[in-house]
Structure 1
Amino acid sequence: MSFNAPALAGAGHPDSKTGARRGATLAFAVQGLSVAAVYTTVPAVTEHLRLTPLLTTATMVAVALTAGGGSFLGLAAIRRAGAVATMRGAMLTAAAALVLIGRASGEATVISASILFGLAVGALDVGVNTRAAAIERAYGRSIFGSFYTAWSVGGVVAALVTAGVARLEWPVAAGLSVQAGIVLILAVFMRTHVLPSSSGLSDTFAQPPLGRGLWLRLIPFGLVLFVVYVVDSTVSAWSAVYLRQTLAASLTVAPLAYAAYQAATVVGRAATDRLVQRFGAVVVVHTAALLVAGALAGMAAAPSWTLAVLAAGAVGLGASVLAPLCLAAAARLRPAAAEVVLARLNLFNYVGVITGGAVSGLLGSTGRFRLAYAVPAALVLLLLAAARHFALPPGPARTQYGAPADRAAPPPLG
């Protein structure tokens, strides 16, 4: 069956929006699961292959670098085959990469498999966010948070699977093969649903001129994404190693900080859309930034793995709302070319991942993991200045999204 074959629910039918939302939610869950599968098995893979700390850091940075390239490969694929076909192809590639990482026999093979995984996740990232932006516009209200809730649920599932596999003393290859099997099953069962034609959306994207000013308008959102993914990379990629090396946790316990982080993001993202509709995006971003800064400081000072796990959960609760609100707001800058806007914005995402992953890994390799969590705590406070750019513009867009008046209006978009 063609990846772009429409489902029985045709364009304009109410079920097409519901089906499209369900399919995108599934894809977000797969992305969260696959990323967590890699991050939570870093200690096991490192010990199995006897990798040096610097090589482990280099491998994680390579994943982030290639994900940036994968984002633009995904953009090209979306233009050629559509967002849904791109998502499905990336999911299948990610499943294959997970198996290869688990079965790697040495340094060269694990690096090669990690690069393949990075390309797949980058393509999947731009695919799911492009599709989510289109669906949100079709609904006419804030629903981005619900997609990222699914991402977090996938991450929790993967972290618990990793902990369970370690408890059963299975080899890392078996655990990653189980995770890959889940990804494969979900990819096969994902269907294509055509969005209502009245929304002006489809899987075939025009390429209107974007203008030089778009980069300047993306800077506030890019700053937010950069900081969010510095934090996310520090917690996601290295919390298991932090618990293992600094707080003397077992391999069974080490993934629990990631599980707590993602479980808290489920709660935060499930509430995001309601919070925005009630209080406005600016207030939500302010509150989230303060919570993240305090929780990171607590994680840096944690005397035991138990408190570190609780602090990681608090970080997730605050950080969870920032990325979906950022991506949704940026997509509204150029609704007819959301995939191009999001591909550009993803550059800030991956720079943050690389920075957070590399700095945390280097600090950890020298025994200063606590500092790796203290520094981002101060960095997060920069988001307070960027929050005003999340205010919805006056007029039809504010009415459509049902949001209250925000405390600060955005600068002119011209």
Structure 2
Amino acid sequence: MTAPVQTPARRRSGRRSPHAAARRAVATVFAAQGAAVAAVSTTVPAVTERLALSPLTMTVLVVTVALSAGVGSFAGLALIRRVGPVAAMRAAVVATAAALLLIGRAPGQTAAAVSYGLFGMALGCIDVSANTRAATVERHYGRSIFASFYAAWSAAGIAAALLTAGTAHLGWPAEHTLTAQAGLVLALALTVRAHELPADSPLALSAHEEPAGKSVALGRELWAELAPFGLVLLVAYVIDSTVSSWSTLYLHQTLDTALSLAPLAYAAYQVGTVTGRTCADRLVRTLGPVAVIRAATLLTAAALAGLAAAPAWPYAVVAAACTGLGVSALVPLCLASAGRLRPGATEAVLARMNVFNYMGVLAGGAASGILGSTGHFRLAYAIPAGLVLALLATARSFAWPPRPPL
């Protein structure tokens, strides 16, 4: 039996389908956030030198981003309820571009702290709005597609990291680099289009999910159900924050790498994550989420150990890529699994998950910065290598479909 021929008209109709339009819009927002995070992370050495910041002061600014992102997450929840997820996503991305401009042109430490705080709030708003919409779109598709959104995040991060490396090679100052990065983020924001999803899609709900709009419990039982996913998310963001925020400085200071080459570790990390996330949905459908979580955990632990022991920057770049490949599936699988627990209140569930997210960013960014300021960046990668192995105990919680809530 041959497959039906897909005519050009049918293909065009598929591209205009509400599901496809929603998926493109959400992927664009993820890409904008990935580019913005990469812009800030890879310009840490340049901003540090421009404002004559100590490593400890830069650590405080990283912590400021994490704390303000937690506030922005719940502000985003309120914004979603007021204007809807699409408008909330677009507004948050525009605010992120504005924050990048302010960081690049901050005249002093106080202005820089305020700018980084605004950047964190905008990131938090993107997190809750984009992940909420991603969970909804995945339910409408009726299959695993969550990792593809994070693949867009990572791909944009690669582009932004390479842009930083290129402008550093040309001798651009930090303010010009961040202005270019802000333009990239703003251009992505302008392509986000309003869209609707069918209210009664037959693919939207699984046999274990409650219809949206039904009153759902969000009490202590929810926190207990979120705990295993939260633990994985926390550790994943400890690792992500350690590599994203400090790998450029690690190469520059510890491995004595030029500023034009130091961002390559971040770019390699994102190459690993985009590769892993491109394959993750297919692997989940083929092997199941439990097997994917276990394999990802073991690879991440080995790669972090290699990053900690790297004798020169090329080895560190390869290890960073392997770290990204290992950690790539952890975050999307956590959020997709958590979003299925209470589909009638996905935005509230994911706002709670962001507590674990920012705890991880806070712990990873602060601990790595403190270790780096005392000349022990290698320990910042060696310690999470052991910590990540504890995640093997949570793998069974990712079995899908999940058990019905009590």
Q: If the TM-score is normalised by the length of the shorter chain, which range does it land in?
A: over 0.9
In the other structure, the counterpart of 1:286 is 294
Residue of structure 1 in register with 2:367 after alignment: 359
2:96 & 2:262 partners in 1: Cα distance?
24
Equivalence for 1:82:
84
**Pairing partner for 1:311 from 319, 330, 342:** 319
2:56 is aligned with what amino acid?
A: L
CA distances 1:198-241 after superposition (whole Å, capped 9, x unpaired) = 1397xx97764323200000000000000000000000000000
1:181-205 Cα deviation digits (max 9, x unpaired): 111111122101101121397xx97
Assess if the C-alpha contact under 8 Å between 2:15 and 2:21 holds in 1: no
Q: What's the counterpart of residue 335 of structure 2?
A: 327
Partner in structure 2 of residue 116 of structure 1: 118
**2 CA distance for matches of 1:112 and 1:148?**
28
From 38, 42, 50, the equivalent of 1:48 is 50
Q: Structure 2: which amino acid aligns with 1:162? A: T
Cα RMSD after superposing both structures: 1.6
* Counterpart-to-counterpart distance in 1, 2:160 and 2:383: 28
Q: Which residue of 2 aligns with 1:381?
A: 389
Amino acid at match of 1:226: L
Deviation at 1:13, TM superposition (A): 11
240, 254, 257: which one aligns with 1:249: 257
1:273-317 residue CA offsets vs partner (Å, 9 max, x unmatched): 100011000000000000000000000000001100100000000
Q: Distance in 1 between matches of 2:340 and 2:217?
A: 15
- Paired amino acid for 2:151: T
Counterpart among 198, 201, 219 of residue 199 in structure 1: 201
How far apart in 2 are the matches of 1:62 and 1:115? 6
Residue 197 of structure 1 aligns to a residue whose secondary structure is coil
Contact 2:151 2:275 in 1 (8 A): yes
Q: What is the letter of the counterpart of residue 95 of structure 2?
A: T
Change (3 A) 1:372 1:176: same
Whether the aligned pair in 2 keeps the contact of 1:13 and 1:196 (CA below 8 Å) is: no
Match of 2:74 among 61, 72, 75: 72
Q: Kindly report which structure 2 residues correspond to 1:220-239, keeping only aligned pairs within 5 A, or say none.
A: 220-239=228-247
Quick check: 1:67–1:350 contact (8 Å CA) kept in 2? yes
Mapped contact 2:216–2:342 kept (Cα < 8 A): no
Between the aligned partners of 1:288 and 1:205, the Cα distance in structure 2 is: 36
TM-score scaled to structure 1, two decimals? Answer: 0.91
Write the distance in 1 (CA, Å) between the matches of 2:336 and 2:291: 16
1:190 maps to 192
Deviation at 1:393? 2.8
Q: Is the 8 A contact 2:268 2:320 kept in 1?
A: yes
Partner of 1:402: none
Q: Aligned with 2:194: secondary structure?
A: coil
Separation (CA, whole Å) in 1 of partners of 2:215 and 2:367: 37
CA deviation map 1:56-106 (0-9, x unaligned): 000000001100110000001011111111111100110000001001111
Equivalent residue for 2:6? none
Distance 1:211 1:357 in 2: 30
Q: Distance in 2 between matches of 1:37 and 1:131?
A: 24
CA–CA distance in 2 between the matches of 1:97 and 1:39?
14
Deviations along 1:332-361, one digit per CA (max 9) or x if unpaired, are: 000111110000011000000000000000
Q: What residue is the counterpart of 1:167 in the other structure? A: 169
Say which SS state the counterpart of residue 199 (structure 1) adopts: coil
Q: State the match for 1:265 in structure 2.
A: 273
Residue 304 of structure 2 is matched in structure 1 by 296
Please state how far the C-alpha of 1:40 moved relative to its aligned partner. 0.4
Deviation at 1:249, TM superposition (A): 0.4
CA distance in 2, matches of 1:267, 1:101: 30
Which residue type is aligned with residue 335 of structure 2?
Answer: L
Correspondence 1:37 to 2:39: yes
Structure 1: gaps of 5 or more residues = 1-11, 395-409
Pick the aligned partner of 2:65 from 60, 63, 70.
63
Match of 2:356 in 1: 348
> Hey, what does 1:406 align to over in structure 2?
none
SS across alignment from 1:250: coil
Tell me how many residue pairs correspond in the alignment. Answer: 385
Q: What is residue 148 of structure 2 aligned with on the other side?
A: 146
What SS is found at the alignment partner of 1:22?
A: helix
Q: 1:207 to 1:171 in 2, by over 3 A?
A: farther
Deviation >4 Å, runs of 4+: 204-207
Counterpart code for 1:198: D
